[in-house]
Amino acid sequence: MPSANNTSTVFAAAGAAAAGVNDHWPAIVASSVFIAFTLIAQYFFKVDPLAGIPVVGQGGKGSRRRQFVKQGGAWKLYREGYEKFKDGLFRITTARETESIIVSPKFLGELRKLPDDVLSFSASVTESLQSKYTGVKADLPHVTETVKSSLTPALPRLNLEIHREVVDSMRLELPQSSTWTDINLNSKLLRIVAMASGRVFVGPELCRDEGYLDAAINYTIDLMIAVHVVAFMPVWLRPILGPIIPPVRKLHRRVKEADEFLRPVVTARREAEQLPGYKKPDDMLQWIMNSQEKFGLKDDKELALNQLGISFAAIHTTTMTTTNSLYTLAAMPEVVPMLREDVEQALAGSDGVFTSLAMQNMKKLDSFLREVLRYYPISTSSFQRKVLKPFTLSNGTTIPAGIIIEIPAAGVSGDPSIFPDPEVFDALRFYKLRQSKSEANSGIKAAETVANSQFVSVSASSLTFGYGKHACPGRFFAANEIKMIMATILLHYDIKLPDGVTERYPNLQMGAQSLPDPKKLISIRKREDAAA
């Protein structure tokens, strides 16, 4: 409450101010008019920093956004942009608030050198996941570091365990009868991939636990639902409703549940550490526990968040790629004998054991899988980064802060000047490239061609796994897991399209993504001459 003294001071000050205004009102009016005019002029005459970059799509922003979100619309826009401006830049209005500039891959060399405070991977993911409202932390640098420094180097010693889990989970999930049975392949693969990945992510105690499997498979789906619901809200309503809508609250429950199933395992491991001769498990959960202090993860709840983060990055991406591959294989029975022989030959050199070398030697299978990535790109764009500070490209174009840049990955995959006859699915395209180039060239050039033509390749023409320092660190693990599943199918099962289906199932295009139709059936039977 103001005192009487204070009150009179306030009145005195107000009186003085009023007298001042009376004295100076012409000047005040003049400067107000000037400020208003400047603001209006700035609005109408301001130089749009993106003005020089052509726009793809018809009409204003709202209409272009509608073209983007309608079925197949985004793919059409990116294709049109690539055909017209493939060596330069073009603009697209996506479902996000921020405008996207699509940049030719020829600039990748210079883009990759820009630091994270100029071109940010995590700011782009944060925006895509609506993290402000969903509360999902997009930036989990210790997951990336652990995949790079612990998981990938561990693959040669873990392959045996992973393969065992692949075979066991396939026995559990797939029909074991020698008569043809129709199955929903995608849902089976989700569980197989979650179990085999779980063997490495959370260890043998949990990898077949239904609570873990539910989280590993469905957290991603719940997150995508929450992101979509938020994206459809008016921007002003998001801060008010975003954090409390049921799909977002479900995500919080998921974290709590993951914490509940992980904690007993974490506690048991900590207690066991006190016992003499205890050998720590060799899995992601343990590697992160070992580095908890270094990473500053004080609360064990962070372990749950990390597990959900890695499931998000790994399970659906690997499953979609395997489903794409098996839908293709089922529609191309003519390539089966050749791939089967490739797998048998590679395994003959390792007494049937799935060593890293044996999987590297499955070169025709690798080529088939690489062609699946090219022919069925899971996203029309790659290398999405948010621009935090303006920078200038070598062609003189300045890219302003606050927008997203992307590389047109699907345009590249379908470009006849890069891949001759791109409309043909050629299972041996990359195998032939590796063979012919390594015969024609020698030394560094041959090594480069071999490195650019593999499933795990990352280059200006291989963009499935991104590019630069944030390129997917999990691709080596994914490659091994997918090869193990494909090889096991080739050796121990027959697959085909169900009776009456004559063509490979078309993929579904949703926004910038393309996914194998998860509802489709595939016929499968156990091979009589093979014992898994």
**What are the residues whose beta carbons fall under 8 Å from the beta carbon of 488, sequence distance 6 or more?**
166, 167, 170, 532
List 474, 489, 507, 515, residue binding ligand HEM (CB under 6 A): 474
SS (H, E, C) 1-44: CCCHHHHHHHHHHHHHHHHHHHHHHHHHHHHHHHHHHHHHHHHH
The DSSP letter of residue 236 is G
Least Å from the CB of residue 87 to ligand HEM = 22
Q: How many residues form the binding site for ligand HEM (CB under 6 A)?
A: 26
Q: Which stretch binds ligand HEM (CB under 6 A): 73-81, 315-323, 359-367, 519-527?
A: 315-323
Output the CA–CA distances (angstroms, integers) from residue 325 to 158, 318, 359, 481, 486, in the order listed: 24, 11, 17, 13, 8
Nearest alpha carbon to residue 88 among 407, 469, 386, 496: 407
Residue in 191, 470, 504, 520 binding ligand HEM, rule: CB under 6 A: 470
In whole angstroms, the minimum distance from the beta carbon of 393 to ligand HEM comes to 18
User: Does residue number 478 form part of the binding site for ligand HEM (CB under 6 A)?
Assistant: yes
- Count Cβ neighbours within 10 Å for each residue of 462-483 and write b for 16 or more, e otherwise: bbbbbbbebbbbbbbbbbbbbb
Among 82, 85, 133, 477, binds ligand HEM (CB under 6 A): 477
Whole-angstrom distance, CA of residue 100 vs CA of residue 115:
19
Stretch in the footprint of ligand HEM (CB under 6 A) among 243-251, 308-316, 334-342, 504-512: 308-316
| Beta carbon nearer to ligand HEM, 130 or 324 | 324
By CB under 6 A, name the one of 100, 130, 144, 523 that touches ligand HEM: 144
| Dist. CA 418–CA 82, nearest whole Å | 13
In terms of CB distance, is 102 or 497 closer to ligand HEM? 102
* 372 lies in the binding site for ligand HEM (CB under 6 A): no
Closest CA to 404 of 140, 84, 121, 137: 121
Give the nearer residue to ligand HEM in terms of CB position, either 318 or 355.
318
| CB of residue 128 to ligand HEM, shortest distance in Å | 11
Q: How far apart are CA 468 and CA 460, in angstroms?
A: 10
Give the one residue of 198, 242, 377, 466 binding ligand HEM; rule: CB under 6 A. 466
DSSP state of 532: -
Query: Any contact of residue 138 with ligand HEM (CB under 6 A)?
Result: no
Pick the stretch among 203-211, 414-422, 472-480, 488-496 that binds ligand HEM (CB under 6 A): 472-480
Rule CB under 6 A: is residue 147 a binding residue for ligand HEM? yes
Q: Where does this chain bind ligand HEM (CB under 6 A)?
A: 121, 143-144, 147, 151, 310, 313-314, 317-318, 321, 378, 383, 464-468, 470-475, 477-478
